[in-house]
């Protein structure tokens, strides 16, 4: 398992803490999945008071505060600095939203905020697209992790651009990458890991399931299976059939 800013994760699954029907259900989902990181929102904490912080700290995993809902670099930078002070971590999932309908990142605001936060000592996890030029600029700014989306946040569509994600992974082989957003089924998680990504981050697909704990466990198993498959060296896809039983020695009648 690749390190994330010097932290090695035992489980390639990161899980969000929003949208669950109750704190108890959220905690049960984390326990069932064994997720290695919990993403948290400063805005959510503002609504729930100190009880929410106590709950997520009780999970016993690294916290990854996010700048969810920010639509400008200035807003994201301010939120990140508040989150660092409140949650006592220099990890930040950087989101700068550029479109209200798709929740697609604003590449210009994202890069501006990343440059400022990296210079300020943050360990930035930027929520980005599969654009290789933007990825290169984020790495040059100091980002040691990239978090390309699979599909729009909360859509459950899976991996919308397999080719683009594969090319991104190949272009930056030494940069840890997390597929963030859009995963709806455990099979999507397995596919992401099979493509060589290092972890997945999801929330809605688990929180909105009929049984969030069972779904969280399913995603964790799928991610682990996909990672194991990638490490084993999968066969190359072929256009033609290849018999698994040799024809040499076959009786010809």
What is the 3-class SS of the chain, one letter each residue? CCEECCEECCCCEEEECCCCCCHHHHHHHHHHHCCCEEEEEHHHHHHHCHHHHHHHHHCCCCEEEECCCCCCHHHHHHHHHHHHHHHCCCEEEECCECCCCCCCECHHHHHHHHHHHHHCCCEEEEEECCCHHHHHHHHHHCCCCEEECCCCCCCCCCCCCHHHHHHHHHHCCCCCEEEECCCCCHHHHHHHHHCCCCEEEECHHHHCCCCHHHHHHHHHHHHHHHHHHHHHCCCCCCCCCCCCCCCCCCCCC
93 among known catalytic residues? yes
Q: Which of 44, 84, 93, 123 is catalytic?
A: 93
Active site residues: 93
């Amino acid at each position: 398992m690749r390190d994330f800013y010097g932290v090695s994760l035992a489980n390639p699954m990161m899980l969000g803490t929003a949208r669950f029907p109750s704190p108890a259900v959220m905690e049960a989902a984390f326990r069932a999945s064994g997720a290695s990181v919990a993403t948290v929102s400063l805005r959510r904490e503002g609504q729930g008071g100190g009880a929410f912080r106590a709950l997520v700290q009780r999970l016993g995993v690294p916290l990854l505060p996010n700048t969810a809902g920010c639509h400008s670099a200035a807003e994201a930078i301010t939120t990140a600095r508040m989150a660092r002070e409140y949650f006592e971590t220099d990890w930040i999932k950087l989101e700068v939203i550029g479109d209200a309908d798709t929740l697609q990142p604003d590449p210009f605001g994202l890069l501006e905020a990343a440059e400022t936060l990296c210079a300020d000592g943050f360990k930035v996890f930027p929520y980005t697209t599969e654009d290789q030029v933007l990825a290169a600029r984020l790495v040059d700014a100091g980002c040691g992790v990239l978090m390309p989306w699979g599909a729009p946040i909360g859509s459950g569509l899976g991996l919308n651009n397999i080719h683009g994600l594969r090319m991104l992974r190949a272009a930056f082989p030494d940069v840890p990458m997390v597929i963030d957003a859009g995963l709806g089924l455990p099979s999507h998680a397995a596919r992401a890991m099979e493509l060589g990504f290092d972890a997945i981050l999801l929330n809605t697909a688990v929180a909105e399931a009929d049984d969030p704990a069972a779904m969280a466990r399913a995603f964790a198993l799928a991610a682990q299976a996909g990672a194991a498959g990638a490490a084993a060296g999968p066969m190359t896809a072929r256009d033609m059939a290849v018999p698994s039983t040799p024809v040499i020695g076959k009786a010809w009648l």
